[in-house]
Amino acid sequence: MMATKTFRCPARHGYAVEVSPFVPQRLACAASQYYGITGSGSLFVLDQTETGMVLVRSWEWGDGLFDVAWSEANEHVLVAGGGDGSLQLWDSANQHAPLRVAKEHRQEVYSVDWSQTRGENLIVSGSWDRSVKVWDQDLSRSLTTLQGHEGVVYSTVWSPHIPGCIASASGDGTLRVWDVKAAACRLAVPAHKAEILSCDWCKYDQNLVATGSVDCSVCVWDLRNVRQPVSQLLGHTYAIRRVKFSPFSQTVLASCSYDFTVRFWDFGGSRPLLDTVEHHSEFVCGLDFNLHIPHQVVDCSWDETVKIYSPACLTAAARSAAS
Amino acid sequence: MERLKVISGHLLPRGPSEPLRVLRSCGSGSSVPGTGEEVVVVHGRRTAIGKAKRGSFKDTTPDELLSAVMSAVLADVGLPAARLGDVCVGNVLQPGAGALMARVAHFLSGFPETVPVYTVNRQCSSGLQALLNIAGAIRSGSIELGLACGVESMSLRSIGNPGDLSSRLVENDKARDCLVPMGITSENVAERFGVSREKQDAFALSSQLKAAQAQNSGRFDQEIVPVTVSVTDESGRERRLQVRKDEGIRAGTTLDGLSGLRPAFKPDGSTTAGNSSQVSDGAAAVLLGRRSAVEVLGLPVLAVLRGSAVVGVPPDLMGIGPAVAIPAALRQAGLSLDDIDVFEINEAFASQALYCVEKLGLPLEKVNPNGGAIALGHPLGCTGARQVVTLLNELRRRGRRAYGVVSMCIGTGMGAAAVFEFPGPQREEGGRVAGRT
């Protein structure tokens, strides 16, 4: 296993990381002062080098920052969501202020995502005001507001396959699937008997969505039959903060948790838990796979670190599959 | 503080707002999950509970009962006794709380002489006190792993001799109240707080029925260590038998039958043999450790000790102890009553158990789901450890992360309580116990 690279951000507690879709070694991290309970936020753009990570750019924001997404159209542009209910569009070519700030949400914005399907260039945001909003790429205004969740919205993700389709996860215990064109909820799955903090789409099967919940379980759902999950992954000992499907394997996913661990799963196998990575000393909130470098993973934690590593379980699985 | 509340909700899903926890996690508190400093329960077993003086254990010495559970717990998890930092045994009736008896049991179990053992007597909470003592030694850094036990033979020893007491006790109300017989303290609670005979009998019936159902569906089978003993019957013939079932449970109990029983302690009283705990023989043992040590050895984590408390109450109303001790232990754990899934409250008497349940407003279905001492029996020094074993098996059966409380009243006016968290189904690496049948 390649050595873990660590970036320290003193007095900033990591909430989200995302690897650039354009530049393999580049990633962004949204972090907050005082564990995001109060104080300001920071957005870091980092490059990994041979030996570690270097800071390319950083911006400060007056309130905590909880999520970040790279533009799928312009390699310099990112969007972040903040505790003041704002979305900010940042340009790494511009040193100082955001290109644009859109403040429509009445409470914390906890998730942002940039659409990936052909012909679309939209942003989605999820907020503690229980709404999901869809925006054009300039954040000039929200195009649609999706209402229906009866609790805080924690996670909003565009389907990588179906245009205008969003999955959202909420404190109301439901996973919802939305049709943006019709501005309607197409499916509400009572996926957990506890808050759901994260969801993600499978990159290889347009019907599969994973959810991570306060009940410590990750569930994989086939949206065609949601009476029971395709798989329930148990092992975390505290709430699951984020789940991400692998960009390289249909049945591999990763989850990070308040139990300080990141776990890797293959729900296609008889022993789904591949590995438990315990390299943080606080809640692990941010997690992403590198699209360009197979098996490379990035995560960030309230312990003021961002880490890049290639878990042995993924590289070993790839080796055994190849042989 | 909306954000603090929301994030606290992620950590304590059933307690809507408990900011304490999250603040503790932000710092470097010793009970933070993952630091390895927590006191965890690895495993526990008990003997069947025998009827004193008439049952299968009537001729069995307590060291034999104790040895059966001590060795079974270690054998189940494959831990050599030499790894134990200390052994503490709760006992009430043996001379000096059975310090000698415990060391004999220790050697009968094949434990090496290098491992120490001692006993503790806090009356009916002795078995739980043994667990708290071992937990304290782990927390203080003195030991890494310890065995907490409880044992009583009420066949061979009776509650009797109060020891040597100052004659001045008659001048001091509280001191004098310490001599009030337990049955009278039950009558005091019933009278003072208006717990009717009917309610006591109904509670006793439900204890019997729940225990009978638990026994019939095999729910105790996994926790009970079969013990082979010799019993001398009335004709003087000795016979060997293996004891694996609790003897106090009466599936045929009816409300009619209970209401026909005469008051046992005073003519116009409401406490009867049917709505009081039974006099019994039994033993239980629980293996505890520091999480880091437990994980290094690849032992399973059955539960985490989250809090505990022992409190004092008026001696003549000693039965109200749990009503004071449970909130104190929950405060320490940073939990509320609503967070708790199962309460194991010792049924010394239906009067006091009911009083505590009603005082705390506990839903009856959360209390003693497998019956209590009215049906199973109350081998004094064993009871606390027995309750922990029964509680944790129940939480494990339910199969999801949950909290449970063990509590009891204590003669001379005290109450004790401990809060445990069942972390959810075992992770694969610690599955050694699962293989046991």
Q: Which chain A residue shows the shortest CA-CA distance from B421? A: A237
Q: Verify whether the Cβ–Cβ distance B33 to A260 is below 8 Å.
A: yes
The interaxial angle of helices B350-360 and B182-193, nearest 10 deg, is 40
Q: How many CA atoms lie within 13 A of B396 on its CB side?
A: 24
Q: Does B378 participate in catalysis according to the annotation? A: yes
The reply to whether A128 touches chain B by the CB within 8 Å rule is: yes
Domain assignment present for residue B3? The answer is: no
Q: Verify whether the Cβ–Cβ distance B7 to A37 is below 8 Å.
A: yes
Residue B96 has pLDDT above 60, yes or no: yes
Residue B394 confidence (pLDDT): 97
Tokens in use for A188? 């509400």
Residue B299 — very low, low, confident or very high, per pLDDT cuts 50/70/90?
very high
Residue B25 confidence (pLDDT): 32
Domain assignment present for residue B363? The answer is: yes
| A278 phi and psi angles, rounded to 5 deg | -120, 70
Residue A25 confidence (pLDDT): 97
| B82 phi and psi angles, rounded to 5 deg | -60, -20
Write out residues 152-181 of A within 8 Å (CB-CB) of B.
152, 171
The reply to whether A36 touches chain B by the CB within 8 Å rule is: yes
Percent of chain B with pLDDT over 70: 92
The mean pLDDT value of chain B amounts to: 91
Residue A168 confidence (pLDDT): 98
The β-bridge relationship of strands A109-114 and A122-127 is antiparallel
Q: What digits encode the pLDDT tens for the residues A251-288?
A: 999 999 999 999 999 999 888 999 999 999 999 999 99
DSSP state at residue B124? B
Residue B357 confidence (pLDDT): 97
Please name every residue paired with A283 in a beta bridge, in sequence order, or none if there are none.
none
The total domain count for chain A is 1
Domain assignment present for residue A7? The answer is: no
What domain range includes position B53? 39-155+178-420
Domain assignment present for residue A278? The answer is: yes
Task: Report whether A118 contacts A83 (CB < 8 A).
Answer: no
Domain assignment present for residue A279? The answer is: yes
Q: What digits encode the pLDDT tens for the residues A162-202?
A: 999 999 999 999 999 999 999 999 999 999 999 999 999 99
Q: What digits encode the pLDDT tens for the residues A84-101?
A: 999 999 998 877 889 999
Q: Which chain B residue shows the shortest CA-CA distance from A64? A: B3
Q: Does B149 participate in catalysis according to the annotation? A: no
Tokens in use for B77? 């998890």
Separation of alpha carbons B293 and B29, rounded Å: 18
Mean pLDDT of B272-291: 97
The reply to whether A39 touches chain B by the CB within 8 Å rule is: no
Q: Around Cβ B234, how many Cβ atoms within 10 Å?
A: 5
Based on C-alpha coordinates, what's the Rg of chain A? 18
Residue B315 — very low, low, confident or very high, per pLDDT cuts 50/70/90?
very high
Residue B36 — very low, low, confident or very high, per pLDDT cuts 50/70/90?
confident
Q: What digits encode the pLDDT tens for the residues A56-92?
A: 999 999 999 999 999 999 999 999 999 999 999 999 8
Tokens in use for B97? 């709380």
Residue B29 confidence (pLDDT): 29
Mean pLDDT of A212-236: 94
Tokens in use for A297? 């993973």
Residue B435 — very low, low, confident or very high, per pLDDT cuts 50/70/90?
very low
Q: Verify whether the Cβ–Cβ distance B3 to A171 is below 8 Å.
A: no
Residue A117 confidence (pLDDT): 82
Give which of B296, B332, B300, B326 is closest to B313, Cα–Cα.
B326
Helix (H, G, I), strand (E, B) or coil at B182: helix
Cβ neighbours of B10 in A, within 8 Å: 195, 197, 214, 238-239, 241, 258
Mean pLDDT of B17-45: 55
Residue B24 — very low, low, confident or very high, per pLDDT cuts 50/70/90?
very low
Residue A1 has pLDDT above 70, yes or no: no
DSSP A169-220: EETTS-EEEEETTTTEEEEEE---SS-EEEEEE-SS-TTEEEEEETTSEEEE
Residue A269 confidence (pLDDT): 84
Mutate one of A40, A152, A214 to test the B interface: name it (highest B CB count within 10 A).
A214
Mean pLDDT of B370-374: 98
Q: Does B409 participate in catalysis according to the annotation? A: yes
Q: Verify whether the Cβ–Cβ distance B3 to A36 is below 8 Å.
A: yes
In this structure, chain B runs to a length of: 437
Q: Verify whether the Cβ–Cβ distance A37 to B423 is below 8 Å.
A: no
Residue B28 has pLDDT above 50, yes or no: no
Residue A2 confidence (pLDDT): 58
Residue B366 has pLDDT above 90, yes or no: yes
Q: Verify whether the Cβ–Cβ distance B34 to A260 is below 8 Å.
A: yes
CA B135 centroid distance within chain: 15
Helix (H, G, I), strand (E, B) or coil at B355: helix
Residue B26 confidence (pLDDT): 30
Mean pLDDT of B196-205: 97
Residue B215 has pLDDT above 80, yes or no: yes
Domain assignment present for residue A73? The answer is: yes
CATH number of the domain bearing residue A250: 2.130.10.10
Highest mean pLDDT among A15-19, A96-100, B163-167, B232-236: A15-19
Task: Report whether B288 contacts B131 (CB < 8 A).
Answer: yes
| Residue that has been written with the tokens 């046992």 in this structure | B264
Q: Around Cβ A49, how many Cβ atoms within 10 Å?
A: 10
Helix (H, G, I), strand (E, B) or coil at B287: strand
Domain assignment present for residue A13? The answer is: no
The interaxial angle of helices B126-139 and B383-398, nearest 10 deg, is 70
Q: Which chain A residue shows the shortest CA-CA distance from B303? A: A237
The reply to whether A37 touches chain B by the CB within 8 Å rule is: yes
Give which of A152, A108, A160 is closest to A168, Cα–Cα.
A152
Residue A95 confidence (pLDDT): 72
| B70 phi and psi angles, rounded to 5 deg | -60, -50
Q: Verify whether the Cβ–Cβ distance B3 to A38 is below 8 Å.
A: yes
Q: Verify whether the Cβ–Cβ distance B34 to A283 is below 8 Å.
A: no
Mean pLDDT of B145-173: 94
Domain assignment present for residue A48? The answer is: no
DSSP state at residue B369? T
| A171 phi and psi angles, rounded to 5 deg | -65, -10
Task: Report whether B53 contacts B379 (CB < 8 A).
Answer: no
What domain range includes position A255? 38-43+60-284
Mean pLDDT of B354-377: 97
Task: Report whether B31 contacts B40 (CB < 8 A).
Answer: no
**Cα(first)–Cα(last) distance of chain B, in Å?**
50
The reply to whether B427 touches chain A by the CB within 8 Å rule is: yes
The total domain count for chain B is 1
Lowest mean pLDDT among A156-170, B155-169, B244-258: B155-169
Q: How many CA atoms lie within 13 A of A16 on its CB side?
A: 28
The reply to whether B10 touches chain A by the CB within 8 Å rule is: yes
CATH number of the domain bearing residue B196: 3.40.47.10
Separation of alpha carbons B326 and B309, rounded Å: 8
Q: Verify whether the Cβ–Cβ distance A258 to B10 is below 8 Å.
A: yes
From A156's Cα to the closest Cα of chain B, the distance in A is 18
Domain assignment present for residue A305? The answer is: no
Residue A3 confidence (pLDDT): 85
Q: What digits encode the pLDDT tens for the residues B37-95?
A: 899 999 999 999 999 999 999 999 999 999 999 999 999 999 999 999 999 999 999 99
**CA distances in angstroms from A149 to A171, A192, A222, B353, listed in the order given:** 8, 14, 20, 44
Q: Give the H or E element holding residue B25.
A: helix B19-26
Give which of B6, B8, B44 is closest to B389, Cα–Cα.
B44
Residue B35 — very low, low, confident or very high, per pLDDT cuts 50/70/90?
low
Assembly ipTM: 0.90
| A136 phi and psi angles, rounded to 5 deg | -75, 170
| Residue that has been written with the tokens 């120490």 in this structure | B116
Domain assignment present for residue B150? The answer is: yes
Residue B34 confidence (pLDDT): 46
Residue B426 — very low, low, confident or very high, per pLDDT cuts 50/70/90?
low
Mean pLDDT of B339-357: 97
Give which of B45, B42, B285, B290 is closest to B145, Cα–Cα.
B290
Cβ neighbours of B33 in A, within 8 Å: 237-238, 259-260
The mean pLDDT value of chain A amounts to: 94
CA A226 centroid distance within chain: 23
Residue B14 — very low, low, confident or very high, per pLDDT cuts 50/70/90?
low
